[in-house]
Amino acid sequence: MKRQDLHGFVPAIATPFNEAGDIMEDAFADLFAYLVERGATAICIAGDNGESWALSPQERGRLVRLAKDLSKGRVRIIMGISAPTISASLAYVEAARENGADALLSMPQTYVLKATDAELMNRFDQIHRRAELPIILYNSPRRMGFSLTVEQIGRIQDSYDVIGIKESHRDFFHHTHLLEQLADRFSVMTGPCHYIMPAFGLGAKGFIATGPEFIEDRPSDLASIAGDPPGDAYRRAHFQLTTIYELLMGTATWPAAFKAALNLIGLPAGVPRDPVLAATEADMDRIKATFDTLGIAYQ
């Protein structure tokens, strides 16, 4: 996979579990088909939406292999390898390689409040040497406990086979400088939904985000809508993306609301895996009320 392949709508697919906590492969196939139909150019396994923290290396590899079989070459398959320890990340790397992943999505070490430059470079050096696969950086201050600076991102991109970044910083100052300095060197993929439309205008190539699955427009059409002079279509898309993102991020424990919303529109997302509990009746009422406001049909 090359930087030119990383663009447009790249969803992180949910992992459907049944009540016993088992992966439902038929349901996964249905979710996969829906995302391809909505215009996905690549699909990420074991991202935050996929409850990566609850998946073993073997389960990740199994899902990658299933996705490759379902894809039949239509979309690229990315696998998340983020973990607090490098040994855990390298175990995920092996699962990705053995099962045919096209690229890796990786944060730096997660759940630490600080990482020195030496620690950052050491981690990506080990991943690069073991992986033999391109890397997509993932900068998420909320999940990492710190943020990569634009300078650090540029240095990592210079040093290793980094084809892009999922940028989930919620500060648009950061996005602005990242896009100005690095958008011509690799694919910047927006994370927060409310930044998708303006980020396209500043050079983003696409988005790895939660919420575009539900909007009225095909997610794959957002780039062209963002490229036209702002009008009703732009404002509608931006409002729907923003409202859905606020809903899903602010309801229940992640990703219970996301799975509940998928189930509501007829997609078999199952339930979260332990220790996350399913959305409550009150949560469901809130999701339905927002869908009613946005004109999203549900069952």
Q: How far apart are CA 187 and CA 231, in angstroms?
A: 26
pLDDT digits 0-9 by tens, 34-89? 999 999 999 999 999 999 999 999 999 999 999 999 999 999 999 999 999 999 99
Tell me the domain boundaries of the chain: 3-219
The structure's pTM equals 0.96
**Residue 145: CB partners within 8 Å, gap ≥ 6?**
110, 111, 112, 113, 114
pLDDT at position 111: 74
pLDDT digits 0-9 by tens, 88-120? 999 999 999 999 999 999 999 877 767 889 999
> Domain 3-219 classified CATH 3.40.50.300?
no
Residues of the chain with pLDDT under 50: none
The two tokens of residue 298 are: 């549900």
pLDDT at position 113: 67
| CB of 41 closer than 8 Å to CB of 219 | no
Q: How far apart are CA 280 and CA 28, in angstroms?
A: 23
